[in-house]
Chains A and B, each alone.
Chain A
Amino acid sequence: MTDTPPPGPAPMHIRPAKTPLLQRLSLVWVVPIIALAVSLGAAWQTYSDRGVRITITFDNASGVQAGTTEIRYRDIRVGLVEAVEFDEGLGTILVHARIDQDIAPYLDADAQFWVVRPDVSVRGISGLDTVLSGPFIEGNWNTTADVAQTNFTGLDRPVLTRASQRGTIIQLQSDNAGSIAAGAPVLHKGLEVGYLEKPQLNFDGSGVVVSAFIEAPYDRRITSSTRFWDISGFSVSFGAGGVALNVNSLASLIEGGVEFDTIVSGGDPVTDGQSFTIFPSEQVARDSLFVDPSAEVLRVAVLFEESVTGLVRGADVRFQGIRIGEVSEISAIVVGEGDLAEVRLQAVLDIQPSRLGLGADATADAAMTLLSDFVERGLRARMVTGNILSGSLFVELAQIEDALPAIMARTSGRYPVIPTTDSDISDVAATAEGVLARINALPVEELMNGAIDMMDSIERLVDSEDTRAVPSSVIALLDEARGLVGSEELQAVPAELRSVIVEIDAIVARANDADLVTSLDNVLEVASSALVNIEQATRNLPRITAEIETLTVRANQLELDALVTSAASTLDAIDAFVASEDTRALPGSLNGALEELRAVMAELRAGGAVENVNTLLASANAAARAVEDAVSTLPALSAQAGRLVSQSEAVVASYSERSRFNAETLATLREIQAAATAVSALARAIQRNPNSLITGR
């Protein structure tokens, strides 16, 4: 190639036609545009979705991590913690979090946040899932969107009442929170129907206020007449009704709790925030139902002269057994002036007019009028023992018969005074002492000795060889009996008996022939006359008895002077009488007669011969005579006894009091009397049944 221009026409400057910009642009440009659009779209999406940033202030945010810790509402994630930092004074921790767009409008002034951590309490374990996942922040707000907020203050403890729970929140008032912990259950008939929030001091610091949440539908059970009472721990009440121990659930033992019940109907339904009082016990709560705290109270005083130990504030005031009020104050006041001044113990009684039967809206004045009227008719106040063991007392207004006239007056002090009467106080010590003294007096030792003696005797008896030999003897006897029964002779007895009966028949037939009956009549006649004699003889016995009785009467009036000298001789005489041959012979001769009769009868039975009957009757005759003879001595005996009695009378007349001698005398006389009675009884027996002389029975 050379540097010279090529031959031919100068090269044309061919300029390509200007193509439009759009045609010159490559299609590839679509790709970056799409990429840009997508990127911008994504960026916008991210920006618009990123949620609302809120700040929660915590005192303690342990475990909360930026980018990890979630915000949850009813266990669903609604946000994420973005940053955790201290505020300027390092006093609190600021947790910045993003809350989902759709949730943010609900975060208004009532929103609450707290950090959920594992919690172990009496009532169970909660938040266990946070052990692995780390704590999360739980939020609670209601379901109505209000003015949205972005700054919140976190709570130390979880709130117990979630906004989504349906129920009623009420305020409970108590003197102290010693037995109430946050979360403690509210029971109704043993069911857990709610719980208590954290107790707080009331505005003037005089008590404690605690919110209670009652779940629906149980909250409908609460009316304005509902009563709440404390069921914390266990209670031991020791009152007039005895000892009562109440223990509720284990949780309530530790955490406390309250129970409520609506005992009377007619209360108004409650609204949120209504206030109730927690009563210390169910009994008090129930009692309070019948006491309108706003009702008027009649205050009267009672002046006691004796000690009021055992009477305390709050003790019952009863009227005919019904509680009408309580003792509100016990104090000592001076009554009278100068030398007459003395100290009385004043108990002020708060009496509920409505309890006196005056109606619910009775005034104190009406009650006063009623009581004055009663006092004029004999109403008096007195202390009565409520519980014998504890010695507690209550005041009773009782109607006293023939009470000294008195009126209800303002003699001293601020209150009208109800006159008193003697108190009815049973002292447990005195009562117990009396019981012990009686127990002491029981002859326990004698009884024991007697028992020991008896046991000794039994032991001796049992130990004796004779007793031991008894069983073997019995066996031998049985053997013999068996032998006897088995003997041929005995077997033959029935046949012999039959022949004997035949013979007896014959004998009876012959007896009829021999005019036996007439002879028997004779015998009986003689016996009858003997009996007449006996009867005459015994007729004197009552007289003797009467005389002895008069003697005894006189003996009661005896003087002691001549006692010693006369006693011996009298007793000797009595002894002599008792020991005299006649006295002793009397039963003997009677016996002899009877023995004879019995022998005759035996002979008669044994012999069985008709010929012997006549001799028998003759013997019976003789026997009857002998009886007659024996009995004929009875008048003499009576006379002798009469003499003896008069003699005794003379001696004993000098005696004045009952003494040992006297007693002996009486005993002797009683023996005489007994002997006489025996004779009399014998005579009566013979009289009633003369045949016994013959039959020996």
Chain B
Amino acid sequence: MSARAAGLVACRNCGQVHQLDTLRCKRCDSTLQSRDSQSLQKVWAWLVAGMIAYVPANLYPMLLTSTLTDRSESTIIGGVIELVDYGAIGIALVVFAASVLIPVGKFAAIIYLAVSVQRGSGRNRHGRHKAYDVVEFIGRWSMIDVFVVAILSALVQLSAIATINPGIAAVSFALSVIFTMLAAQSFDPRLIWDADRTIHD
């Protein structure tokens, strides 16, 4: 039994339940939609945009470090390898997780959710809902890289001796994270359960 089957529609913002044909929430005035017909489209669109942005984020340098004698540009993976070379494996793992594992994991999770909804699969609906919650929650932590770059760039501006500037990758990476978060948000988790309905109807 779903709200839709009962002729009702719940506001996704405040949870107020309305008649199915109500257009706007009478409590918070947000648009009411029983099912977002374009949800999957949006998910795919944001996901593709996020993945496109993730390519230059990895190819271009993240940090432009120039010191008195040296001038180096490091990409994300390059930075991780450098950290490993210096023996800071712990930090390397954190950076690697935040910059590579989480974004890539999110791409994979969203693709899995979207594909499973499209195919109307009814298996493991609880697991998929949990996965959606995790993706939604963890998405924002991917911004940790961007914050590090922003803080370093702001603090290390010692003129000729040492300066750190953000590279193009920093912007790309931030965009990638934002697009991925939007993709996750565009996903209507109720679709997970609709598949079950169609099967049992």
Contacts and interface: CB of A to CB of B under 8 A. Distances in A.
A32 B52 contact: yes
Contacts of B45: 26, 28-29, 31-32
B69 interface: yes
Nearest to B49: A32
29 contacts: A24-B41, A26-B38, A26-B41, A26-B42, A26-B45, A28-B42, A28-B45, A29-B41, A29-B45, A31-B45, A31-B49, A31-B179, A32-B45, A32-B46, A32-B48, A32-B52, A35-B48, A35-B53, A35-B175, A36-B52, A39-B55, A42-B56, A43-B56, A68-B70, A68-B71, A132-B68, A132-B69, A133-B69, A134-B69
Shortest beta-carbon contacts, A-B, top 4? A32-B49, A32-B48, A28-B45, A26-B41
Given A25-B41, A26-B42, 20 more contacts: A26-B41, A26-B45, A28-B38, A28-B45, A31-B45, A31-B49, A32-B52, A34-B49, A35-B52, A35-B53, A35-B175, A35-B179, A36-B52, A39-B52, A39-B55, A42-B56, A42-B168, A43-B56, A68-B70, A68-B71
Contacts of A35: 48-49, 52-53, 175, 179
B91 to A, nearest CB: 23
Interface in A28-79: 28-29, 31-32, 34-36, 39, 42-43, 68
A391 B52 CA distance: 98
B186 interface: yes
Interface in A426-476: none
B28 to A, nearest CB: 23
Contacts of B69: 132-134
What is the size category of the interface that chain A forms with chain B?
Answer: 10 to 19
Interface string A6-38: 000000000000000000111011011011100
B78 to A, nearest CB: 11
B94 to A, nearest CB: 26
B106 to A, nearest CB: 16
Contacts of B53: 35, 39
Which of A25, A28, A68 gathers the greatest number of chain B CB atoms within 10 Å? A28
A166 B52 CA distance: 54
Contacts of A36: 48-49, 52
Contacts, number: 48
Interface string B54-91: 01100000000000111100000000000000000000
Given A68-B70, A133-B69, A134-B69, A28 B186 contact: yes
A39 B56 contact: yes
Interface of B: 38, 41-42, 45-46, 48-49, 52-53, 55-56, 68-71, 168, 175, 179, 186
B13 to A, nearest CB: 20
Nearest to A131: B69
Contacts of B186: 28
Contacts of B179: 31-32, 35
Nearest to B48: A32
A24 to B, nearest CB: 8
A43 B68 CA distance: 31
Contacts of A68: 70-71
Nearest to B47: A32
A132 B68 CA distance: 8
A28 B68 contact: no
Contacts of B48: 32, 35-36
B44 to A, nearest CB: 8
A26 B70 CA distance: 49
A515 B35 CA distance: 194
B46 A31 contact: yes
Interface in A570-624: none
Contacts of B55: 39
A65 B71 CA distance: 12
A43 B49 CA distance: 16
A42 B168 CA distance: 10
A71 to B, nearest CB: 15
A26 B43 CA distance: 10
Contacts of A133: 69
Nearest to B42: A28
Contacts of A31: 45-46, 49, 179
Nearest to A36: B52
A28 B41 contact: yes
A209 B126 CA distance: 91
B37 to A, nearest CB: 8
A39 B53 CA distance: 7
Contacts of A132: 68-69
Nearest to A29: B45
Contacts of A28: 38, 41-42, 45-46, 186
A310 to B, nearest CB: 69
Contacts of B68: 132
Nearest to A42: B56
Nearest to A134: B69
Contacts of A32: 45-46, 48-49, 52, 179
A421 to B, nearest CB: 83
Nearest to A30: B45
Interface in A620-645: none
A34 B49 CA distance: 8
Which of A32, A68, A133 gathers the greatest number of chain B CB atoms within 10 Å? Answer: A32
Interface string A122-156: 00000000001110000000000000000000000
Contacts of B175: 35
Contacts of A25: 41
A396 B172 CA distance: 97
Contacts of A134: 69
Contacts of A43: 56
Nearest to B39: A26
A133 to B, nearest CB: 7
A613 to B, nearest CB: 132
Nearest to A16: B37
A26 B56 CA distance: 25
Interface core residue of B45, B46, B168 (most chain A CB under 10 Å): B45
Contacts of B71: 68
B170 to A, nearest CB: 14
A39 B52 CA distance: 7
Nearest to B1: A1
**Residue from A24, A34, A35, A133 whose CB has the most chain B CB atoms within 10 Å:** A35
A247 B175 CA distance: 75
B24 to A, nearest CB: 21
Contacts of B38: 24, 26, 28
Nearest to B70: A68
A563 B78 CA distance: 138
